[in-house]
Structure formats: structure tokens, C-alpha cells
Structure 1
């Protein structure tokens, strides 16, 4: 199975692999990044290496696709974006992403999201893309709404992080082309 590489004006979207483990750790060990991610911050590189391996295995089994966002101008790892809970038979998935604070408010997550949505709807034939956010994750909510996602409701105690349950917002966008 060949991994689908994508390209935008400023990014190469490639398979997350071992060479990205330090970048993954840099992101997922940062409390500002994991604040709204639904997981506690990583404390050692081995955790990132295991996550990279999970990304690979989930792709190989058809359950997800996770891209590394690599900035073209300097080949820097910015974060990841991908499809979770992928169900090709039901023509749906959920989008998820995280990005290093150095790249916040630069528009590259929006650029990556646009490319992944296009690929998902036109190449994969998906019909529905969902997303789940913490209630107060204003940045992600704004990004999703900018790309046509609509809030469907609140999931009670859906996320567990930092020793407690959190409600979540569920969003979706449909391929109406």
C-alpha cells in the first residue's frame, strides 16, 4: 500500500516516520500543544517513537492516515494532520491535527486541512468528515468553521485528560460536490 503524499504551496505532507520522532516528541511533550489534544504531555522520546509506529500500523490496516507537515522552505517538521476512525465502507473519517506553537497563526494548518479534505473527498471518495474538539479550543473551532464544518452537538465526558473527563464539541462537513 503506497502512502499518499500531498503538496501545498508551503508544505509537503508525507508519511510520519522514524525521522520525525523528535519533532513528534517536541510537539506532544509541549503542554500548550496537548492542552486540547485529549492526551497528557509525553515525557520521553520512546513515547513518540511508539506513536509513530502506531500511525504506520493504523495506515497499513486501513484505520487511519497521518501526514507529517513539512515546511518546504527549510524542511522543518511543523506537526501532523490526519484521518482517524477511517471507515471507507461508510465513507467517513474524523480529522485531527496538532502543530508546534512556532507555526500557530501562520495559515499552514489551514493549508494542510484544505489539501487533506480535497484528497479525502475526491481521491478517497469519502462523504463525511467529522472532528471533535474541546469546548473552549477556539483556534481549532475557528479553523474547522472556516473550512465549512458545522457543529452537531456536545459529547458529554467524551475526552479524558489530566485525570478528568471533558465534554467535547462534534463537528462535520459533508462532500456535497
Structure 2
């Protein structure tokens, strides 16, 4: 399967390649980005290369798809959005996203997530998209609610980060609700 390229008014969602390692490092070495990500901030560029290799392998294995969010105006890679735990036979996945803080509060993640949701339901014929957020990550779960996701509940101690187990909320959007 060829890597799907998605386009919106302001964004191009494309495959993340090795030549994007500096941008991936910049994103994931930022403590504001990784605060609710479930992992420590990167300290070495090699970690970005390993992440890109993992994105590529998981896509080839049909286990996930991770797009780079490219700002059309500058062609800059400003974040990522993707599908984790992609289970085509079960018609479900989980969505996740991140963005450089200088691009926050511009509707970029909403725009990217809407394009990916459309792709999931129209092209992959999925039935369910879930999302997991830290309970403190208010901006993320408000975004999900605005996009039609429903809060299902809390997963206690679900993500281990910063030497402690953190509670998370789980949200979902199912195809019949999306098509309304």
C-alpha cells in the first residue's frame, strides 16, 4: 500500500522520512510537547531517527500510520498525527497527535484530525476511532469533544511517565455518529 497523502486548506499530511529527523527531534525534544505524550523528551537526534524507522516499519506491517503535519505556506513539518493500534480486521484504531507550541491554538490539530478521521471512515472503512488523553490535558480532550468524540471513561494508571502511573480519559468516535 502506498503511503496516503492527505491535504486540507492549510496542511499537507505526508509520510515522515529520514530527512525530517531534525524536525522530529525539534518536536519531541520539547518538554511542552511531550508533557502528556507518555514518553520522555528526546535528548539525541538518533532517537528521532529511531522513531521515524518505527513509523515506517509499523506502516509496512499495517499496524499504524503516522503522518507529518506540514504547514503548506512554508513546507515546515510542525507536528504529527497518526493512527496507533490499527486493527483493520476489527475496524478500529486510536488517534494521536502532537504539535510545536508555536503553532498551538491555530486550529491546526483540528484540521489534521478531521482529515484523518475522514480517511479512517471513508478509505479504511473503520467503525471506531479511540483517543486516550491525560486527565490534565484539557486542550486535547476539549478538541476531541468539539470534533464529535464521546468521553467513555477513565483508565486508571494507564500511562507511565515521569516516574508515576497517570490516569487517562478514553474517547471514541464511531462511524454512525460521524456520518450524522
| TM category, shorter | over 0.9
Partner of 1:96: 96
Mark the runs of 5 or more structure 2 residues left unpaired by the alignment: none
Where do residues 124-143 of structure 1 align in structure 2 (5 Å cutoff)?
A: 124-143=124-143
Aligned length in residues: 177
Partner of 1:19: 19
Partner of 1:121: 121
Partner of 1:144: 144
Q: What is the Cα deviation at residue 21 of structure 1? A: 1.1
Q: What is the Cα deviation at residue 174 of structure 1? A: 0.5
Runs of 4+ residues deviating >6 angstroms: none
Task: Normalising by structure 2, report the TM-score.
Answer: 0.97
Partner of 2:73: 73
Could you say what secondary structure the match of 1:89 adopts? helix
1: CA distance, partners of 2:61 / 2:100: 28
Partner of 1:43: 43
RMSD (Å) for aligned C-alpha atoms: 0.6
Q: What is the Cα deviation at residue 8 of structure 1? A: 0.3
Could you say what secondary structure the match of 1:9 adopts? coil
Deviations 1:44-91 (A, max 9, x none): 000010000000000000000000000110111110000000000000
Partner of 1:105: 105
2: CA distance, partners of 1:154 / 1:17: 35
Partner of 1:4: 4
Mark the runs of 5 or more structure 1 residues left unpaired by the alignment: none
